Amino acid sequence: MSMRPMILSLCGIAALCAGAACARHDEPAVATTPPAAAVAAPAASAMHEHEHAATPADGAAAAPSSGERFAVDAPLQQGMGKIRAAVATLEHHEMGHLSDEQVVEQAAEIEAQVQFLIANCKLDAQADAALHGIIGKLLEGAKALKDKPADAAPVAPLRAALAEYPRLFDDSTWVPLGE
């Protein structure tokens, strides 16, 4: 079955906590089906609505207005660390050193960790909106890799999404890719 790519908005990220309560809100996630297309990945099985601050039209996540970075919690540090490890492994894909199965495994790990972030991070509204800007790009890259595991092109945008994280979040445990 052919699936059209799903565009992920910052305020309507695919609910990765299908049926679970949002960590920032008490209401349960609301399941919806996109028109004319079923959602291919389990990570995109429902919509998770948040009340976010407005985001720039170019999709870039906004840093705190004070110029400082957002505070992080332990689940954010843990999940982003595991996503970083998966993307670091995927860099071997660009050199032709991973099988399709290994690529799909790493893409699934990214999706699983994004689910973990959605379910467990407790961030204020502005930080949450900034995080959704990053995880939306991570999910797009993971889906592209799962759809076409032989194509290494989605790895570069995954790296770019991870590069936004330390610019926006004050995570003392973060080690940039390549270090």
pLDDT tens digits, residue range 48-62?
333 333 344 445 556
Instruction: Give which of 162, 132, 160, 137 is closest to 62, Cα–Cα.
Output: 132
Please say whether the beta carbons of 86 and 110 come within 8 A: yes
Residue with tokens 């004050």: 170
Tell me, what's the pLDDT at 42? 39
Please say whether the beta carbons of 170 and 72 come within 8 A: yes
For residue range 16-49, what is the model confidence (pLDDT) as tens digits?
Answer: 333 333 344 333 333 333 333 333 333 333 333 3
Nearby residues of 59 by Cβ (< 8 Å), 6 or more positions away: 10, 133, 136
pTM: 0.69
